[in-house]
Structure formats: structure tokens, C-alpha cells
Structure 1
Amino acid sequence: MTHLWVDASSGASGDMLLGALVGAGVPLEVVQSAVDEVSPEPVALRVEEVRRAGLAATRVHVDVADSQHHRTWRDVRGLLAGHDLARSVFERLAVAEAAVHGTTPEEVHFHEVGALDAIADIVGACAGFAHLGATSVTVSPVAVGSGTIESAHGTLPVPPPAVAELLRGVPTFAGPGRTELCTPTGAALLTTLATAWGPQPAMSVDAIGVGAGGRDPEGHANVVRLFVGLAARASTGGGPLLLECNIDDLDPRVWPAVIAALLEAGASDAWLTPILMKKGRPAHTLSALVDSGSADAVRAAIFRQTTTIGLREQPLTKHALDREIVVVEIGGQRVDVKLARHEGVVVNAQPEYDHVVRAAATLGCPVNDVLTEASALSRAYLGEAP
């Protein structure tokens, strides 16, 4: 499976990502062709090899004629018909701009981000990522910069409000220098394309692209790095592994049987998360936690039991408390209680629900009554030390 890692530790912009993609081997013709399909006015892309803080890098120039058009999201959406990924990026921009300006996405006028070069950056970058055929994209914590910048709305703090809105919930930091390091276009692209956030994962790197921004400041290289390669099979390392896939075409009545099959195949846990996919389609993310010995069997069960045609995999670090089982009695019925210890002290005591249900059925009592009594007996173990 092809995996991409984006190093945004010096920030990110649309043209930097374009340069990284071309530097990693995406033909310029692929990018230019995608831009030509949607651009309402002539746009020419050209490549320049440059240096940033002594590093060789690729800069992609977007050459456009002067244009007085300030397009709304409705205008841009019409241009991007048939380009779902690029449209998702611009929609994310529209929602963020609407939030910071107190309007609706339909009425947002793309000033700095809405010019032809931004359309070219977004459409071209999406075409480049699609050309690489990545099944997963990890993005490092994003450097956003600090200080202030001048915009069409006057002096703004860094990160600008739209960037701050786009990067909600994303790991960020100020980074080097007192200037804007991450643009709205860059933030929208990263948050749309990323399937995970963090340092470079275990992978075999085949190609590296270094994309340059227009400035060459002292003290740091104004670049985005893109690593392209094969994700390492975490199961060979013996650690826990998270398997995930997004599914929008499975009869929901089947899900209980799917989860049961994954647990039967050896998953230590399996669960569903409701999500909303492109074109507003409701869907679920299926997740399974496995160890090295059961990974292959659980993969096979996912492909056999569901309609997915691909999986994402992430190695995990897991911290588990020491556990033991004790027994309490309710009306002569035995109920197991699971104790969890931290540094030898019991911090959690939970009755096994299946045992509670069985005891309630035998005693002819409501399940809630038996559960309440079992929970009260279990609490006596809290704080117990060896």
C-alpha cells in the first residue's frame, strides 16, 4: 500500500505542495491537464529548481493574467463539477471563511484564496495526490507562524482566522520565524487529504519531494517535504495494529454479524463510528484492534464480511492495566468482577454484564437490580493494594 508522509514543520501552502508533488515524481503534464479542465481563464504552470536555506527544492510557478473576478463558493463549485476531491477542499475553505466572517458558505467571496492561482493550486495538488495512488496520508504537526500579516481585511494576527478555523483539532505549533507559515489553501488541502496526523510512520521511502515557497527567509528552509513509499506491515513488529475502512454501501443490519466475525477472527476489539462522506453520503468507519498473530485473519474477515476494497493500517502503542477476576455472589449466583490495577492498586472494578444477565434470569429479577447490587459489591475492591 502506497503511503505518503507530509512534513509541514515549516508550514504549508498550495504552491509548496505542488512543488513537493512534482519533486516526488508527479509529471507536470498531469497537474497542468487537471488545471486546464476547470480553469475559466488561461493558467500556465512552470517548474523552477531553487534553494531554500541551502536545500535543493522544486518550485511550481502558477502564471495567470490579471483577473478582476472575485468568485463565490457557488461559482467555484460549478467549475469543479466532476472533481470531487478538489471540490471538498474548496468547500472546507468556504465553511471556514463563512464561520470567521459571520456569513453562509454560499455567499463567501474568495479574495486571496479565490484567485485563479488558488484554483490551480488546489486542483493541481489533488490531481498529484491522486496520481500517486496513496491509500493513506500522514501529516506532521503543522507550523502556522506568528506575528501579523496584511490582508484585504486589514492587519490580521497569525495564524489568520481562516487558518485557525481550518486547523481546529489538528496538531499545530508556531514554528520558526514571525510570519505566516501556513496559508488557508495549504490548511484546507492538508485537512482534507490527511488520514492521520503525527511523525513519519514506519514506511519504506521510495521518493522524496521538496516543495519550495516563494520566500527564502534566514533561519529555516521554507519548504514542504513529501515522502512517498510503502507502509510497513506493523504485524511484523509484534505490536498492536489498528485496521480501519470507510463503508457506505453495506446493509446496516449486517453490522452486528460483522463485528462478531472480527472478534471471532481474533480482534481484541471492533467498533463502528458514524461518518459523513463526500456528496453527503452517510457511512461508517469500521475499526478493529488486532495483535500481530491475528492481523491476517482479521484482514481476511473484513474483506469477506464487508464491501470494502481497501484498508488503512496504523501501528499503535498500547498501555494496558494489570487485570484479574474475582467472584461475588448475588442470591447464590456467581458473578465475575474484572479488577484493573495501576501500580498495584485497584482503580476499576466492573461486574461482567453477561454474568449479571444470566444471574437475573435465574433469580427472576430485573437485570438493573442485579447490576446495581453487583456494582455495589464490586466497589469494595477499589483502592485495594497487594
Structure 2
Amino acid sequence: MKTLYLECNMGAAGDMLSASLLDLFDDDEQRSIIEKLNEIAPEGVSVWSEPVTKCGITGTQMHVEINGQEESSQDHHDDKSHHHHTSMAQVEEIINGMDIPVEVKYDAACVYKQLAEAESRAHNKPVSEIHFHEVGMLDAIMDVVNFCYILHKIMPDQIFASPVRTGFGEVMCAHGILPVPAPATACLLQGVPTYAGGIEGEMCTPTGAALLRSHVQKYEERPLMTIEKTGYGIGHKDFAAANCVRAFLGETDESINSNSTAPIDGKYTDHVVELKCNLDDMTGEQIGFATQMLFKAGALDVFTTAIGMKKNRPGILLTVLCRPDDTGKIVPLIFKHTTTIGIRETLCNRYILKRTVVTDKNGIRKKISEGYGVHKEKSEFDDLARLAAKNDTSIF
């Protein structure tokens, strides 16, 4: 599976996370992405990037300027200063007005809703009363949209991350001096493995925490994976260690995971859970959205089958395959995003081929599958399509 792993040993901020993804692309692709981000940015907002070296590590640093000025690294949003303030509804209006895919709009709006809900809990106020300082709000909106748009370009099958370093001490914001992690950040990091890490200062910002919470499926050490690209997102603050988020993009071997048995005579097996439910009152659009949310949560496969139901009604059988450890989060999502009131569960033994991925000189990934006396090779279609489009040739 195409896997993105985010190493947050120096915490996480919106600009660092976005820059780490941008750094996965070559120079021409980076320029094209930056051009698109500037096309969609609100009036007076500009986005640019540059190569930066810190502590011997060179990566990409992203900048967002509002009317020619760059906002400080502070991004605590419920600002009470003299600036004009903006509500959550206005933030959603700004995002919905951007010329970006609907999936990116939805993704960005969900992240910002999490920010608003965290501020609401931190300050004990309804979300409707949370207002954002206009300059910081535009900066944070672009950090969120930048990340969501670039992530949409990458299209990973799954996203993992390391435990998050938060730093310690105090941070100054509009409310005064706050402890690190700030209250909103602490709300967003509930359930996420974190540690202070011995460096004084704010290492993880609310925007960074919201982006991680919205996208990361599991926090663990880097899994067994064939790394194809590494990106470094350089932060604006200076510490004794290189202030960066590191992104690894590659392929994980699904034939070897925590549920796999040891190979016997080159044969692999593992276990998956099959979840099923019957639906007769959902539109194709609604089922498509539910499928998208289940894949995003880490489902191995989601598919539908046409069936006949009681009262001679045509219906849909929704089938979801997931790892046994993931049923706790997949089952609630099926109830949340479908109309079903019951789900059937079956534990299945799965026979699988050992899979490895190699990349040729043209950047074409090839999946090699072996076992049970079988040897198969298949080139990655997306890579073939990219090369065909680049050279204006047929994909055949």
C-alpha cells in the first residue's frame, strides 16, 4: 500500500507539515503546486517556498504572506486584539469559495472545525462564539488548505506518524501566557501519544495538531516499508536540533503485518475481518461518501453488491474488509455514515502472496508478488499514466 509516514520528532506546525509534503515533489512539480495554491488563495494572500538548511539538513520552507507581510509562528486563533474577527461560518465560506476539488474543501473544513471545537472546549464557549483574528485566520486557513491540497496530489492509501513532541514551558498569545502544549493543542492531542522531549518552547501548534488528528490513522515507529521519497519540512523557529517534520513516502508490504503468520514454504496467511450490512434507502452519492470515509479510516477494501431484499426491494450489500485491530474504529464509522442498524462480522483467514515493490530508472513502480508456486509482476498504473501524459504517448 502507498504509505505516508510523518516523523514529528520536532513537533508539528501547519507550515512544516505542508512543506514536508511539498518537498516530496521535484522542482518543476513544486513550482506547479505553488502556482495553483496562489491561484486559489484569497485576495491579498500569497504562498511561496524556498530551500532552507538547518543543522546540516536541507529541506523546503513554506511561507504565507498577508498583504505582503508574513504572520508570526503563533497560531492561537481566538484572538481578542483590535483586528477584525471572523466566524467559523465565514471561514467555511472562504474555503468553499476556493477553486479546489470538493474532497479538499471538505477535508480542509473538517480540520478547521476541529480547531474551532478545540478552542471552544479550551475556553468553555460555544463554537458559534469562537472568532478568529483575520490575519492569523487567513494564515492558518492557507496552512490547512496547502496541506490538504498537496496530500490530495499524493493520494496515499494510509498515513502513519510518530509520537508527537510537544515541547514544554510557556507560550505568549492573545489570552496571555499559556502552558505548553496550549489548551487547544492539548484538546486536539487527546488520545495521541505525545512527549515533552526536553526542548523548551511550543513544538506542536494547534494547526499542526488538528492536521495530524484529522489524517493520521496510527501513531507508531516507522513501519516496514520500501521508502521511495523523503521530504523535509523546515520550520521557522531555531532550536539546537534541526527543526523539521520528515515525510517518508513508500510502499508497505501488506503480506507482512502484525496479523500475519510466519511464512511456511513461501506461503503467507493473515486474518482480516469482514463486515457486512444491507442497505435499501441510500443514494449512490451517499454510499460513495461512506466508502470514501471508510477507506480514509484504514479499511483494506470496501465494495458493494446488488441484492434483492424483503418486500421485493432492490438493495445494496456493503462489504468492508479491515484488520482485526481496526474494527473498533471501522464499525462506528459504518453506523455513522450509513443508514444500517446492524452489522454482521466474520473473521476470515486470508491467503496472500509476498509482495515487494521495485522502481525502474523512469520512476515506474512495479509490484512483484510471489508464493504458492506463483510469480506475478505488475506496473503501477498511476506511474504509467504520469509518464504517458508527460511524453504525450499512449499508455498501452
TM-score scaled by structure 1?
Answer: 0.65
Match of 1:54 in 2: 56
Over 3 Å counting, the alpha-carbon distance change for 1:211 and 1:147 in structure 2 is same
Match of 2:21 in 1: 21
Separation of aligned partners in 2, 1:269 and 1:222? 33
* Pairwise CA distance, 1:281: 3.4
Separation of aligned partners in 2, 1:40 and 1:165? 29
* Mapped pair 1:7 → 2:7: yes
* Pairwise CA distance, 1:295: 4.5
Separation of aligned partners in 1, 2:189 and 2:319? 34
SS of 2:238 mapped into structure 1: coil
The one of 227, 239, 255 equivalent to 1:234 is 255
Counterpart residue identity of residue 150, structure 2 = G
* Mapped pair 1:91 → 2:149: no
CA RMSD of aligned residues (A): 3.6
* Pairwise CA distance, 1:248: 10
Whether the 8 Å contact between 1:10 and 1:224 is mirrored in structure 2 is yes
What does 1:39-118 align with in structure 2 at a 5 Å threshold? 39-65=41-67, 68-81=83-96, 82=102, 83-111=105-133, 114-118=136-140
Over 3 Å counting, the alpha-carbon distance change for 1:203 and 1:151 in structure 2 is same
* Pairwise CA distance, 1:234: 2.8
Counterpart residue identity of residue 281, structure 1 = H
Whether the 8 Å contact between 1:242 and 1:287 is mirrored in structure 2 is no
* Pairwise CA distance, 1:257: 9.9
| Contiguous gaps of at least 5 residues in structure 1 | 297-386
Over 3 Å counting, the alpha-carbon distance change for 1:151 and 1:258 in structure 2 is closer
Separation of aligned partners in 2, 1:170 and 1:151? 24
Whether the 8 Å contact between 1:71 and 1:114 is mirrored in structure 2 is no
* Mapped pair 1:224 → 2:245: yes
| Contiguous gaps of at least 5 residues in structure 2 | 72-82, 97-101, 263-269, 274-297, 310-314, 354-396
* Pairwise CA distance, 1:222: 0.7
Separation of aligned partners in 2, 1:228 and 1:112? 35
Separation of aligned partners in 2, 1:132 and 1:286? 34
Separation of aligned partners in 2, 1:286 and 1:30? 44
* Mapped pair 1:281 → 2:283: no
* Mapped pair 1:294 → 2:309: no
Match of 1:360 in 2: none
Counterpart residue identity of residue 274, structure 1 = P
Q: Which has the larger displacement, 190-199 or 106-115?
A: 106-115
* Mapped pair 1:202 → 2:224: yes
Over 3 Å counting, the alpha-carbon distance change for 1:69 and 1:250 in structure 2 is farther
Match of 1:33 in 2: 36
Q: Which has the larger displacement, 241-250 or 87-96?
A: 241-250
Separation of aligned partners in 2, 1:238 and 1:80? 46
Separation of aligned partners in 2, 1:116 and 1:150? 20
* Pairwise CA distance, 1:111: 3.4
Whether the 8 Å contact between 1:270 and 1:289 is mirrored in structure 2 is no
Counterpart residue identity of residue 30, structure 2 = P
SS of 2:132 mapped into structure 1: coil
Q: Which has the larger displacement, 232-241 or 243-252?
A: 243-252
Over 3 Å counting, the alpha-carbon distance change for 1:255 and 1:175 in structure 2 is farther
Over 3 Å counting, the alpha-carbon distance change for 1:14 and 1:79 in structure 2 is same
* Pairwise CA distance, 1:290: 6.0
* Pairwise CA distance, 1:62: 1.2
* Pairwise CA distance, 1:19: 1.4
Whether the 8 Å contact between 2:305 and 2:317 is mirrored in structure 1 is no
* Pairwise CA distance, 1:158: 0.2
* Mapped pair 1:192 → 2:214: yes
Over 3 Å counting, the alpha-carbon distance change for 1:282 and 1:154 in structure 2 is farther
* Pairwise CA distance, 1:172: 0.6
* Pairwise CA distance, 1:20: 0.7
Separation of aligned partners in 2, 1:241 and 1:32? 45
Whether the 8 Å contact between 1:5 and 1:200 is mirrored in structure 2 is yes
The one of 177, 189, 202 equivalent to 1:167 is 189
Separation of aligned partners in 1, 2:32 and 2:326? 46
* Pairwise CA distance, 1:60: 1.0
Separation of aligned partners in 2, 1:86 and 1:257? 28
TM-score scaled by structure 2?
Answer: 0.63
Whether the 8 Å contact between 2:38 and 2:47 is mirrored in structure 1 is no
Q: Give the percent of matched residue pairs that are identical in Structure 1 and Structure 2.
A: 32
SS of 2:11 mapped into structure 1: coil
Separation of aligned partners in 1, 2:272 and 2:135? 36
Separation of aligned partners in 2, 1:101 and 1:175? 27
Runs ≥4 in structure 1, deviation > 3 angstroms?
66-69, 111-114, 235-244, 246-259, 267-272, 280-291
Separation of aligned partners in 2, 1:9 and 1:177? 11
Separation of aligned partners in 2, 1:60 and 1:100? 29
SS of 1:221 mapped into structure 2: coil
Counterpart residue identity of residue 199, structure 2 = G
Separation of aligned partners in 2, 1:227 and 1:113? 32
Separation of aligned partners in 1, 2:325 and 2:127? 43
Whether the 8 Å contact between 1:140 and 1:199 is mirrored in structure 2 is yes
